[in-house]
Structure 1
């Protein structure tokens, strides 16, 4: 099993180092702007792994990959990541392991040290492979994760107020109520009213919003759709920051539970990755226990 791993984070051994983001010209006060400044390190112990120092300069360079709420936390996380990396590189040399760098989908080749870290983890970490019974238990316990979303095939007519004051909003509401009274539940009348009165671009498609998932509309409009049955036009206009909405639900398409047989392989891959993550963290902690790590704590290494 091939896994590319830049740095093992103690909480999630599978988490890869994020790519640095170049600041835009606006963020750097012009074309290119000044060089980004690296914050000075907080005051804490020097970091050594089996006598090899993790230099402050290396930690300062690594810190950009570890966003944190404060500089102290980011510095410690960067130092821990480099200590883990050094443990793995030392162990790879002890085992006589070497690896050829691999290229990613963009054709970029990984660094030699990254390839070595990958090699030692692939050689030494063997995850437990989940069986059908374990996959079935996960599926049964997490059924909501394996349902297709409920969809709302809906349309609306947006009546925008012609001003910001209360009178403008009241006039827009009255207009919306007249439309509701005129169109009722007739889809043809609704479509004609949308084309004639709606301030939304959807007016060109008879007010159609397409098939909407929960969370894609503002809460008030979503709640209005939830209250409707198939083929119904809302009896009350719904207010949002955009104006007053006359809502119509063409039909509700309930989500369906995906069969276990279709999801079994994805569940197995996920459980295997989780098992690998736990095994990798234990392996690193064992290396730290057998060695000497100073200045930073490796989780699970004590005791």
Structure 2
């Protein structure tokens, strides 16, 4: 959401006067921060923005107390550099050990897979994510297309050129070879475990309803433990680091005088 959207909402709601150890957080800073916290309600967005600015202030005050001097990496702002250096100094996390990695691997069979690519074609019936009535109608259209294509698979290109809202319609709906990250997660989740063929149900994504035929898939086999271990270790390390940073922020908050907001713990490790 853009700044103007939140500005309209901010004008209608009084912003809290935030202070951290006597240091005031300006209302215009809070108004700007709101744009980075889209939420279902203004209250949720405001709470997230308050928390983020308080966490940032706590960390910067601690960095100043320790006398840290910002050593900026390429493209890094001074405050971000101070926060990074502070966390690197104060939050020490042990490396994931062999037993932890193997336990995770055994508890998540087949979750990590090797490189893959897939070839597919589709018919997109475009619709906004929140237009539920239109989506219901388009689902009926998509299901009817699937029934017809089961009986006449040779008509797929014809149907794509006639009905699809995707530019691929000019190529009969063909998207060519797709690799990880080149399409929406909804496609990857539904198609990676499937054999080639026409999906029996429409695939729903943020863009609308898709009639999809998986033409071919290569790779995507589950990794062995030895192949998966580096990814597992990084995943576990990230989880432990997030918990450790959350606890560290909680300690700083517990020792601080915070006005204008009830700061109950820290769920998010870093300022958003």
Which TM-score band applies after superposition, normalised by the shorter structure?
0.5 to 0.7
2:24 is equivalent to residue 53 of structure 1: yes
1:157-201: CA deviations, max 9, x gaps? xxxxxxxxxxxx9xx96x986x79xxxxxxxxxxxxx4x996257
Stretches of structure 2 that go unaligned for 5 or more consecutive residues are 123-143, 162-167, 179-187, 202-208, 267-272
Alpha-carbon shift at residue 144 of structure 1 (Å): 3.1
Please say if 1:222 is aligned against 2:193.
no
| Map of 1:232 onto structure 2 | none
Structure 2 residue corresponding to 1:134, chosen from 97, 100, 107: 100
Query: In 2, are the aligned partners of 1:47 and 1:53 still within 8 Å (CA)?
Result: yes
Q: Give the counterpart of 1:285 among 250, 262, 266.
A: 250
Shift of 1:44: 6.1
Point out 4+ residue stretches in structure 1 off by more than 6 angstroms.
20-23, 149-156, 207-214, 249-254
Q: Quick one: structure 1 residues 266 and 41, their matched pair in 2 at CA, closer, same or farther if it must change by over 3 Å?
A: farther
State the superposition RMSD in angstroms.
4.6
1:1-303 to 2 correspondence within 5 Å? 39-40=10-11, 42-43=13-14, 45-103=16-74, 109-147=75-113, 194=154, 199=158, 215=190, 221-223=198-200, 256-300=221-265
Alpha-carbon distance change, 154 to 90 in structure 1, aligned in 2, over 3 angstroms: closer
Give distance in 1, aligned partners of 2:45 and 2:156. Answer: 55
Distance 1:79 1:176 in 2: 54
- Secondary structure of the corresponding residue to residue 215 of structure 1: helix
Greater helix fraction, Structure 1 or Structure 2:
2
Change (3 A) 1:41 1:296: farther
SS in 2 for 1:118: helix
Q: Residue 68 of structure 2: SS of its match in structure 1?
A: coil
How many Å separate the matches in 2 of 1:209 and 1:94? 56
> d(CA) in 2 for partners of 1:38 and 1:154?
44
Separation (CA, whole Å) in 2 of partners of 1:40 and 1:130 = 48
Structure 2: distance between partners of 1:289 and 1:66: 24
Quick one: structure 1 residues 111 and 198, their matched pair in 2 at CA, closer, same or farther if it must change by over 3 Å?
closer
Secondary structure in 2 aligned to 1:40?
helix
Unaligned runs of 5+ in 1: 1-19, 29-35, 104-108, 157-168, 181-193, 225-239
How far has the Cα of 1:257 moved from its partner?
A: 2.1
Aligned to 1:183: none
Match of 1:5 in 2: none
With normalisation by structure 2, the TM-score equals: 0.61
Aligned partner of residue 53 in structure 1, secondary structure: strand
Q: Is the 8 A contact 1:50 1:291 kept in 2?
A: yes
CA drift of 1:155 comes to: 9.5
The structure whose Rg is larger is 1
